[in-house]
Every structure is written in C-alpha cells, then in structure tokens.
C-alpha cells in the first residue's frame, strides 16, 4: 500500500503521512483485539500512571486512554497527587506488575522532584514495560534481541520501512542522543543493516556529517535547527521534534528541521505536525498488544514432548 503522498511539483519532497500510517496500524490492531476478545474472552490492558497535574501530561494521558478504548483495549488510569511519596508510587507499580488484567504499564514522565525516575522505571516488570525504558529492554535492543522498543523510534522505523523498503546499506545519521529517541533509533537502524552515525552537540562539523546521510533523523528539540544545506539531495528526513514557537504574533508548532526549505532538497520528509507524532501512540498500542501476547504465551500450559499421551 502506498504510504507517501506524491506532490504535484516534482521538485518538492514527498510528504510522509504519519496520520495515514498510524490510522492503518490502529485499524489492524483493533481488528486483532476484537478477534482476541472473541477467541479468548480477554483483551490487552494498559495502566497509565500520572503523578501530579502537569497540563501537557494531562493531554497525553487523555489521548492515550482514548486511543486504547478506540482499539477495544482496557485503559486503567491511576492519578496520584503531586506530593505522592516514591514508596507509594512503587507500591502501586508492584500491584500493577501482579495484576493479570494489566499487560502494559506506563508511568507518565516527567515525575515530581521527590521521585527517582530511574527507580520507578526499573521497578516496572520488563514484560510490561511498553515504554521500552527498562534496562533489560535497553540491553536486549542493543544485543539485537527481542525487546520492547520506545514508541517514537519504533514509529520512525515503520515510516522509513514503508517509504524505503529494505534499509540495508543506507547511511543514516541520527541527531540527538537521548535515551528515549536518539540511542534506540540508532540501535534500530543498526539492526536494519544501516551504517549509523549518532551525532550530538559535540559533533564536529555537524552539517557535513548530515550531508552524508541517506536517512536523516532529527531529534534534538531545537526549532528548525537543520537547514536545507545540511541535507543530501534525495535523502529521507524524519523530523521527531515538536516545538512551539511564536512568529508574527502567532503560536505554531514546528519541527527540528526547516521544513519549507528542506522540502526542496529531500526526497521524502515528515511534516510537523502529522508525521512522527501519530505513530507514537499507534506504537504504544502495538507494544501493549505485544505485551498481551507475551502474557498469553507464559500462561499457556506446558506439554513436554516426552510426556506419554493417554491411549
């Protein structure tokens, strides 16, 4: 199925339509969840934990809950006050780890200052770590083993595969070395047999490094930092950045790439909004479905091959 939208002007890059790709993925997940409900009388469940009332976090939690319900999954929301003690939050995670109705656990970040974020992340069962932040999932990804992958880089890879197909031999540059996007994105691209450079604030002559890239992933959180002359003609550009800027008295969202200028150079590019963002929530649904499958496999009775069958 065609995943990019051809533009009428040949000189312009193709738009990588993240909304369309996410809609297809969510529809496929919803169909599988409905079948699971019919076959097994159970569906995937995600527990989302929100500590405090950060406005942006509130928006994200509502969007995730709505997406879960639209896919036919169970959404379990746990809202705690901003002054919640770390021990209280860890006790809730212990209960969720033991709850068979909960297949995925997501603790909305950032957490209040009195809570050690890493202690909370590592307390989540690796088999329910749908954010892909637990050290075991990070290690498994680095070793090329089956792991939960953070949702944003997983979505980026899906878009790249839909646009380019086989990525073998492509030169990829990832700008930004965060644990949430940059590092796992680099590992995923290595797993696709790309030659990968992970660039960052200390990289020498960053524009020249970027100009080598067949695939350029920008994930730095700096509005329009990547200029058109940083981009190799025909390259595929994935813009992960979501930045709110004020221009001419109006507030608008922009990415880490100068989209208007880059579109005349790149072969394909994600817009902001409407590119990577929709894929992030779709991949959260996919990770939750994967967690459900893992729980079903572990719950299945074992039938050793040496066991004598009744005559």
Is residue 178 a known part of a binding site? Answer: yes
Exposure string of 7-19, with b = 16+ CB inside 10 Å and e = fewer, is: eeeeeebbbbbbe
Question: Of residues 17, 127, 129, 131, which has the active-site annotation?
Answer: 131
Q: Which tokens in the block code for residue 67?
A: 């997406």
Is residue 3 a known part of a binding site? Answer: no
Exposure string of 115-124, with b = 16+ CB inside 10 Å and e = fewer, is: beeeebbebb
Distance CA 91, CA 78 (A): 13
Judged by DSSP in three states, 300 sits in coil
Q: Which tokens in the block code for residue 193?
A: 């047999």
DSSP symbol at 226: B
Alpha-carbon distances of 197 from 28, 59, 171, 203, rounded to whole Å:
33, 34, 8, 10
Q: Which tokens in the block code for residue 87?
A: 């021990």
108 part of the active site: yes
Closest alpha carbon to 80 in 44, 108, 55: 108
Is residue 308 a known part of a binding site? Answer: no
Question: Of residues 64, 170, 183, 232, which has the active-site annotation?
Answer: 64
Question: Of residues 108, 187, 192, 286, which has the active-site annotation?
Answer: 108
Query: Which residue is listed with tokens 């932040």?
Result: 133
Closest alpha carbon to 260 in 271, 246, 276, 252: 271
Q: Could you list the active site residues?
A: 64, 108, 131
The annotated binding site for NADP(+) is made up of 176-178, 242
The annotated binding site is made up of 176-178, 242
């Amino acid at each position: 199925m065609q995943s990019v939208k051809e533009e009428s002007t040949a000189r312009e890059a193709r738009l990588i339509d993240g909304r369309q790709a996410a809609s297809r993925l969510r529809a496929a997940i919803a169909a599988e969840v409905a079948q699971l409900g019919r076959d097994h009388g159970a569906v995937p469940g995600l527990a989302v934990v929100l500590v405090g009332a950060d406005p942006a976090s509130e928006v994200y939690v509502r969007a995730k809950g709505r997406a879960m319900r639209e896919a036919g999954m169970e959404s379990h929301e746990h809202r705690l006050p901003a002054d919640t003690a770390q021990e209280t939050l860890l006790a809730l995670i212990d209960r969720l780890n033991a709850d068979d109705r909960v297949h995925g656990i997501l603790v909305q970040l950032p957490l209040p200052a009195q809570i050690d974020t890493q202690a909370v992340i590592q307390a989540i069962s690796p088999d329910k770590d749908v954010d892909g932040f637990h050290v075991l999932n990070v290690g498994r990804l680095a070793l090329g083993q089956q792991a939960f992958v953070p949702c944003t880089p997983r979505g980026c890879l899906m878009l790249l595969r839909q646009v380019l197909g086989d990525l073998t031999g492509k030169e990829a540059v990832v700008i930004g070395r965060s644990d949430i996007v940059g590092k796992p994105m680099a590992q995923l691209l290595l797993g696709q047999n790309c030659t990968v450079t992970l660039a960052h604030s200390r990289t020498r002559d960053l524009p020249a490094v970027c100009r080598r890239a067949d695939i350029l992933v920008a994930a730095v959180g700096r509005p329009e930092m990547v200029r058109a002359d940083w981009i190799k003609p025909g390259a595929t550009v994935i813009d992960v950045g979501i930045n709110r800027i004020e221009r001419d008295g109006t507030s608008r969202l922009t990415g880490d790439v100068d989209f208007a200028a880059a579109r005349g150079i790149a072969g394909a590019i994600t817009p902001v909004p409407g590119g990577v963002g929709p894929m992030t929530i779709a991949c959260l649904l996919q990770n939750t479905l994967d967690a459900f499958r893992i729980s079903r496999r572990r719950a299945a009775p074992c039938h050793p091959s040496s066991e004598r069958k009744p005559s």
